[in-house]
Structure 1
Amino acid sequence: MSVSIYHYNDYKEFYNAWVANQPREGFGEYRRLAQALNVSTTMVSQVFKGDKHLSLELASEMCDYLRLIEDETEYFLLLVDYNRAGSFKLQKHFLRQIKSRQEKSKKLETRVKANELSGEAKNTFYSNWVYSGVQMLVDTGKFNDAETLSQHLNLPRNHVQKVLDFLLDNNLLVESKGKLKLGMARTHVGSSSSLVTRHHMNWRIQSMTKLQQNRDEDFFYTGPMVLSHEVANWIRQELPSFVESMNAKLIPSPSETVRCLNIDFFEY
């Protein structure tokens, strides 16, 4: 999450900042949240653009939707309590707790940079597809230890355990109540990074392996083509739009299955 919840005393301001940070500035986000909470879009709008407040029950469901970890969930519910408080005395009580948790988060941030991996950790993470692969598999909730992951991936258990240890040490995964979950740290490699070529190659090698298995649920397309410059430019412009539209649906969707999409379009 690139928007830190601990920077906010108002849960509405936090969520609206989170929305603004999503692809296409969160277009359609209120509708998606309403569907997740099983309430009307009007109700969501009245809460986050008006004076209404979430119930604690809906707030708890919203924490799951936002994929907040345990500490973030407790803080979000505290913000709801604070904003719903009916007296100045009660507000002061909750505000003291808010300030305490904010100070705690600052101390944590001095030990672990929450939103971005260090250069050395990035080099490790992008050295092999298995790091992001294990992270995504854990997010489905179906894999919670090295044994089940090693069986699924057909990799040595000790190797998978080292990957898990790395992800936990770098806050890419966290353990909460005996369960592994996504941590606050995030990874991104831009087109100008020296790691981007390795990132593409890692997953294309996996793609070649899956191609040989010829499974019905997979889809591969190779289309050498001769075409006009106009159509070639149109395809080049449409691909980023497709990725943007895909991400708008992908980000709020529940983690149920892990897939990899590789798109190659180039002139030769």
Structure 2
Amino acid sequence: MNNNVFDFSDYKEYLHDKIISSPAKGRGLKLQMAKALGVQTAYISQVLNKEPHFNLEQAMKLNKFWGHSKEESRYFCILINYARAGSFELQEFIKEEMNDVLEKRKSLKNRLDIKNSLTEANQHIYYSSWTYAAIHILTSIPEFQTVDKIVERLRLSRDRVHENLHFLVETGLVLEQGGRYVIGTTRIHLDADSLQVRRHHYNWRSQSVISVDRGFKEDLHYSNVVSIAKADVPKVKEILIKAIEECRAIIRESPEEEIQVITVDSFIL
């Protein structure tokens, strides 16, 4: 069972999936849905099994009932509009809207709602070495907000740390406050077509190899080559993207105590 509205092009199939996969196979859910819509339970069964269709007012109530996010609510309403369309031309028009939503979800930047702020020239500097990002993130941890502590933690020269901090302060990524360096509010994410993507990945994959050589038991490394059905490739990718989203949700609420590197790869040879 998927339980993800974006995996469906038919809202009735989606609701069936939601109901069946709920505790006790959804027993009593149709009654609860009917109360939420102010209709009879028989009407819910009628809609789910054949005709008619829910209207948009009912769709909004169902969005609230199922706890849909804003993005999920919009797509659910599009599905209902698609099902209610009375002509092929209208269906095709609405289908384009469906595809637009799905295409935007494929873009990780849109999925994570991230905005860039560095100029192209500053991006080139930032991604020229792993040390810029490492020092940038370290300044979010109170224990490592001085030059001495950064030098000790990353085993870098004092000149190198000063050089990196000067750039980070100039670009607003780090703020200097009475001899201490604290992280700014800027969030950075490379577009998939950015010239810096290769360098960014290379920086941290190189550090990953060094981590393998260190052999610390708390580190995690996994690499595998598999044969897989073409239809399952996007499913695996979706699972990985969801995992990234879940990790980011945890990280967002987590107090800054340690610096950790996370790398994820999935590609076709």
- TM-score normalised according to structure 2 size: 0.54
Q: Answer whether contact 2:146 2:179 (CA < 8 A) is retained.
A: no
Bigger mean CA deviation after superposition, 239-248 or 132-141: 239-248
AA aligned to 2:145 is N
CA drift of 1:186 comes to 3.4
Gaps of 5+ in 1: 1-23, 28-113
What CA distance in whole angstroms lies between the structure 2 residues aligned with 1:200 and 1:160?
22
Alignment of 1:118-137 (within 5 A): 118-137=119-138
Bigger mean CA deviation after superposition, 126-135 or 248-257: 248-257
CA drift of 1:252 comes to 2.4
CA drift of 1:174 comes to 0.6
Structure 2 equivalent of residue 196 of structure 1? 197
CA drift of 1:182 comes to 1.2
Q: Does 1:187 align with 2:152?
A: no
The structure showing larger relative contact order (alpha-carbon pairs under 8 Å, at least 6 residues apart) is 1
What CA distance in whole angstroms lies between the structure 2 residues aligned with 1:157 and 1:254?
27
Q: Answer whether contact 2:135 2:165 (CA < 8 A) is retained.
A: yes
Structure 2 equivalent of residue 212 of structure 1? 213
Question: Sequence identity, in percent?
Answer: 26
Q: Answer whether contact 2:116 2:190 (CA < 8 A) is retained.
A: no
Q: Helix, strand or coil for the counterpart of 1:142? A: helix
CA drift of 1:146 comes to 2.3
Q: Answer whether contact 1:136 1:258 (CA < 8 A) is retained.
A: yes
Q: Answer whether contact 1:146 1:161 (CA < 8 A) is retained.
A: yes
CA drift of 1:230 comes to 3.4
Structure 2 equivalent of residue 163 of structure 1? 164
What CA distance in whole angstroms lies between the structure 2 residues aligned with 1:25 and 1:140?
33
Q: Which whole-Å deviations, capped at 9, do the CAs of 1:177-218 have from their partners, x for residues lacking one?
A: 443211233322110111111111111111111110010110
Q: Does 1:145 align with 2:166?
A: no
AA aligned to 1:171 is G
What CA distance in whole angstroms lies between the structure 2 residues aligned with 1:240 and 1:209?
26
AA aligned to 2:151 is S
Alignment of 1:1-268 (within 5 A): 116-268=117-269
Q: CA RMSD in A?
A: 2.3
Q: Answer whether contact 1:170 1:185 (CA < 8 A) is retained.
A: no
AA aligned to 1:154 is R
Q: Helix, strand or coil for the counterpart of 1:251? A: helix
Structure 1 equivalent of residue 50 of structure 2? none
Q: Answer whether contact 2:137 2:259 (CA < 8 A) is retained.
A: yes
Q: Answer whether contact 1:115 1:184 (CA < 8 A) is retained.
A: no
What CA distance in whole angstroms lies between the structure 1 residues aligned with 2:195 and 2:116?
20
CA drift of 1:151 comes to 2.0
| CA separation of 1:115 and 1:236: change in aligned 2, threshold 3 A | closer
What CA distance in whole angstroms lies between the structure 2 residues aligned with 1:115 and 1:222?
30
Gaps of 5+ in 2: 1-68, 73-114
Q: Helix, strand or coil for the counterpart of 2:121? A: helix
Q: Which whole-Å deviations, capped at 9, do the CAs of 1:105-159 have from their partners, x for residues lacking one?
A: xxxxxxxxx9712222111011111101001111111112222212221221111
AA aligned to 1:252 is E
Q: Helix, strand or coil for the counterpart of 2:204? A: helix
Q: Helix, strand or coil for the counterpart of 2:176? A: strand
| CA separation of 1:200 and 1:244: change in aligned 2, threshold 3 A | same
Q: Answer whether contact 2:118 2:171 (CA < 8 A) is retained.
A: yes
AA aligned to 1:168 is V
